[in-house]
Amino acid sequence: MEEACAGFTRFDFCQILDATENFSEKMIIGWGGFGRVYKGQLPGGLNVAIKRADEHAAMVEVNSELQLAKLQHANVIRLLGWCIHGKERILVYEFMQNGSLDRYLCDRRKGPLLHWSRRFKIITGLTEGIVYLHKHSMFWLVHRDLKPHNVLLDCNMIPKIADFGSARALSSDVAEERTSRVVGTSGYKAPEYASRGVYSLKTYVFSFGVLVLVIISGRKNTILDKRGDTVGDLVRDAWRTWKDQRLHELVDPLLGERYEAAEITRCAQVALLCSQEDPADRPTMTDVAAMLNSENISSPMEPKQPAALIHGCADIDTTSTYVGRSSRTIDIMITSSAPVSTTVRIILDPEV
């Protein structure tokens, strides 16, 4: 840990105790990937966020956080220093005055402060941060738990991607890895990751797509597992309103009519492209940045309809097929006016 933090301030444990009032519960401002986060004030008056690792935290989670030491971007939380004292492992970050994005999306009193221009700047800021993590940093980083709670806002409402305790580095921008320990939050996990533990940069793209839809709508994305759901109700509703040119119905009511319809349309379409079930259909974050900066998205870039739900799907008398290219499986769901639907999975190349 000390080697990974070389070049950053090493804080004395007594400084940490003073800053947090001996880790007082009233100083807790949140929970990170491997421990509690406290607000603290250093002797010079600087407010900081102090993350204290739980005793049971795996060292790999701490090391994942330490990868931040190598990251420097306006939209990525900045590590200031660290402290080791016995079993205590502590990281010190810049403090974000406006807290996490979810506090605004979930609080109807604070929600109006997130007018559309701010939401749009948050979306574009997150895009730039992820492009950096995917392309310009020293490695290809997959966050694995991108959600409103892990997007922090500074005094100017500039977004910062935070909590890298679950992050993993890839060997290349096209690499796929598999894990038996699936982490993250329901509603934001890509289908291939939630079901098979497969993750890549495209897994991050899916989470970003859902996050953008949440920012537009102020809604949560609920996964209906018992009905074979893979993307969530928000993604399906967003696709329907986009297809029927009714996106005004998706917009957070707190925005009223105070938004740019063209920007909403562009952001929603990009978000739907990002949240495609097949990772091969999702754009790269570099493509996302280009599309968000363009006035028009070319017509061929149209998101596919999400797969139908089992039992009572809204799309009657249809057959929907999803081909999972990375797993070489084909899921065929047959729905009709009858009360029973049938799902058939053909495995082309069984996993070992």
Ligand-binding annotation for 135, yes or no, is: no
For residue 349, the one-letter residue type is D
User: One of 12, 54, 145, 287 is an active-site residue; which one?
Assistant: 145
User: d(Cα 115, Cα 302) in Å, to the nearest integer?
Assistant: 27
Catalytic residue status for 278: no
Name, in order, each residue with C-beta under 8 angstroms of 157's C-beta and a sequence gap of 6 or more: 98, 118, 121, 122
> Cα 188 to the chain's mean position, in Å?
6
Structure tokens at 94: 């810049």
Beta strands in the chain, from DSSP E residues, in sequence order: 9-10, 28-31, 35-41, 47-53, 79-85, 88-94, 140-142, 151-153, 159-161, 168-170, 177-178, 198-199, 319-324, 329-334, 342-347
User: d(Cα 234, Cα 187) in Å, to the nearest integer?
Assistant: 9
| 3-state secondary structure at position 9 | strand
Burial tier of 24 (Cβ tally within 10 Å: 0-12, 13-18, 19+): exposed
**DSSP output for 279-343:** GGGSPPHHHHHHHHTSS---TT--PPPPPPPSSS-SSTT-EEEEEETTTTEEEEEE--SSS--EE
User: d(Cα 104, Cα 185) in Å, to the nearest integer?
Assistant: 19
Structure tokens at 351: 């996993």
Question: Which residues does the annotation place in the binding site for ATP?
Answer: 51
Active site residues per annotation: 145
Question: Which residues does the annotation place in the binding site?
Answer: 51
